[in-house]
Amino acid sequence: MSIRDATKVYAAKTGPVRALEGLSVDVREGELVCVLGPSGCGKTTLLWALGGLHELTRGQILVDGVAVKGPRPEVMGFIFQDANLLPWRNLRQNIEFPFEIKRRPVDAVRIESLLAETGLAGFETAYPRELSGGMQQRASIVRALAQDPAVLLMDEPFGQLDAFTRDEMNLLLLRLWSETGKTIVFVTHNISEAIFLSDRVVVMTPRPGRLARIFEIDLPRPRTIEMTFEPGFIALIQEIKRTVETGGRRTDVEVS
């Protein structure tokens, strides 16, 4: 997947809003990339463009060399900050919903194994209001993976969860990722989460979002929560935090 000169200007009532500016990144197949940046820097704007949910003002997104023109749910699965489960449908009916829309036979075997893997087996007939936030988000992951898309686009999916549940979900995501080999683009403003998950962290500047810097994360896998307490990990948090604050500009050579 290739992001080339991605630029987006929204036409708001109050005038044009420059949300993204000339961002170029290549995402390798099977890679887990986190896009990190402060609130309002254009992360969701970028993810929507990746998923073909809106058009760029300039630049393009290529998937397997083909320009993205609109949504392709069979190739790209979306997971949002809210699980977006339909309250009047039980867990299984929610997971089967995309199959119904596409008029495709339900992949019961795949769903079964995903439910087991995510600890949701036995909750198939429960309604969303009966499930915890973490369980709802796991259900939305199962719903996306049941479609077997090549790419998963995730927009701060664990942002509303408590720290313990977030750790659990991150470990689960890494397990699912290593088993399925999906390409994952994961948006977050949590530095530690980004490092913990990523092969590479793409750091964006404040609005309009430009590329500040790309960090290769060469921590060994499988990763454990204990790693997040190690000095190397904490040093990396500080370095990335500085990059976010300075927008990737070298401050050490500035003259006052």
Ligand X SMILES: Nc1ncnc2c1ncn2[C@@H]1O[C@H](COP(=O)(O)OP(=O)(O)OP(=O)(O)O)[C@@H](O)[C@H]1O
Contacting residues toward Mg ion, per CB under 5 A: 44
Largest CA distance in the chain: 66
Q: Which does 115 bind (CB under 5 to 8 A by kind): ligand X, Mg ion, none?
A: none
Residue 42 partner contact from ligand X, Mg ion, none using kind-dependent CB cut-offs of 5 to 8 Å: ligand X
Using an 8 Å Cβ cutoff, are 51 and 32 in contact?
Answer: no
Interacting residue with ligand X among 3, 6, 19, 95 (CB under 6 A) = 19
Restricting to residues 143-162, name those near ligand X by CB under 6 A.
Answer: none
Instruction: Please count the residues of this chain forming the interface with ligand X, following the rule CB under 6 A.
Output: 14
Structure tokens at 156: 């701060």
Going residue by residue from 187 to 216, which x/- string records binding to ligand X, judged by CB under 6 A? Answer: --x-----------------x---------
136 binds, among ligand X, Mg ion, none (CB under 5 to 8 A by kind): none
Residues 55-94 that bind ligand X (CB under 6 A): none
Contact 79, 144 (CB under 8 A): yes
Chosen from ligand X, Mg ion, none, partner binding at 17 (C-beta under 5 to 8 Å by type): ligand X
Cα separation, 196 vs 84, whole angstroms: 26
9 in contact with ligand X (CB under 6 A): no
Q: Which stretch binds ligand X (CB under 6 A): 11-19, 96-104, 176-184, 248-256?
A: 11-19
CB contact at 8 A, 3 and 24: yes
Stretches 12-20, 26-34, 129-137, 222-230: which one binds ligand X (CB under 6 A)? 12-20
What does each C-alpha distance from 158 to 155, 165, 167, 169 come to in angstroms? 9, 8, 9, 7
**For residues 44 and 113, which CB has a smaller minimum distance to ligand X in the complex?**
44
Show Cβ contacts of residue 162 under 8 Å, excluding neighbours closer than 6 positions: none
Q: Which of 75, 241, 43 is nearest to 151 (CA)?
A: 75
Q: How far apart are CA 236 and CA 231, in angstroms?
A: 9
Q: Which of 10, 97 has the CB closer to ligand X?
A: 10
Rounded Cα distance between 179 and 171, Å, is 12
Check whether the bond before 208 is cis (ω within 30° of 0): yes
The CB-nearest residue to Mg ion is: 44
44 vs 246, beta carbon nearer Mg ion = 44
**What does 8-30 look like in DSSP terms, one character per residue?**
EEEEETTEEEEEEEEEEEE--TT
Q: Which is nearer to ligand X, 11 or 255 (CB)?
A: 11
Minimum CB separation of residue 96 from ligand X in Å reads 30
Residues at the site binding ligand X, with contacts judged by CB under 6 A:
10, 12, 17, 19, 37, 39-45, 189, 207
